[in-house]
Amino acid sequence: MWRATFVALTLMTLVSFPGHPLSAQSRKTVGLVVGRAQSRQLWGSALPTREVEGLAAGVYVDVETPVPFLSIRAEAGYVRRGTAAREEEQGGPGSEARVESHYLSFPVLGMVDLRAGPALLSGFAGPSLDTLLKTTCTPGFCSLLGEERRTVLNVALGGGVGFSLGDLLVVRAEGRLTEGLTEAYLSELASVRNRSKELILRLAIPF
């Protein structure tokens, strides 16, 4: 159900909004995104966890709306989320267990863009859907994760700065928080959700 809803939203984004240039520059862009995700799993009080680093990469399109300063961003890409936790061992200090969750991610975000000449200041928020590709983890720790949820619904929000080189190139640097609204795993110990802080670089071409 969630997957079908997101596909419909993405298609509507790409085909439904007419052109509406702000000042002399187009607000339609298509481009690439690459970045770093600092993520962790939230186990409540059942298991303390810490952040681990992962990769985020993909493609996206920003499409203007009839509302000034407001555009819609549809993105599709890969993101590696995960966590690290300390496994206790009787009579010893224990060892660190790691979990990596590999997702296809589909954010659909509303974005407000403010422009001053070539400079850009933006803020954005909206839902994001993650589809699990696979889970890798330290041997013996996977059993604690319990049941995998193949689809995870998140909310994403953030902001950034950038600049536009006329009709040639748009460059943006952004920070984004992605918070899991539904469980990523259903363990006997707790309902496990994802949280990720992402630093992202975007390169796009206006069209």
* Residue 117 DSSP label: T
73-94 mean pLDDT? 78
- In the chain, the amino acid numbered 39 is S
Q: What is the pLDDT of residue 141?
A: 80
Residues 21-38: pLDDT tens digits? 333 344 689 999 999 999
- In the chain, the amino acid numbered 173 is A
> What are 148's two structure tokens?
């995998």
- Tell me the C-alpha distance between 64 and 128, whole Å: 19
103-119 mean pLDDT? 94
- Tell me the C-alpha distance between 137 and 56, whole Å: 19
């996206």: which residue's tokens?
60
Report the Cα 52 to chain-centroid distance in Å: 15
pLDDT band of residue 198 (cuts 50, 70, 90) is very high
Q: What is the pLDDT of residue 35?
A: 97
Report the Cα 115 to chain-centroid distance in Å: 24
pTM above 0.85, yes or no: no
Closest-CA residue to 136 (of 98, 185, 83, 100): 100
Q: What is the pLDDT of residue 27?
A: 62
Q: What is the pLDDT of residue 28?
A: 85
CA distance readout (Å), 129 to 28, 48, 116, 161, 199: 23, 26, 33, 25, 19
CB atoms within 10 A of CB 107: 27
Can you say whether the dihedral through the CA atoms of 65, 128, 61, 36 is positive or negative? positive
Q: What is the pLDDT of residue 85?
A: 86
Pick the CATH number of 2-17+25-189 from 2.40.160.20, 3.80.10.10, 3.30.460.10, 1.10.510.10: 2.40.160.20
Task: Please state, for a pLDDT cut of 70, what percent of the chain lies above it.
Answer: 83
37-51, 85-99, 100-114: range with highest mean pLDDT: 100-114
Q: What's the chain's average pLDDT?
A: 84
Q: What is the pLDDT of residue 13?
A: 41
Residues 156-194: pLDDT tens digits? 999 999 999 888 899 999 999 999 999 999 888 888 999
- Tell me the C-alpha distance between 39 and 170, whole Å: 28
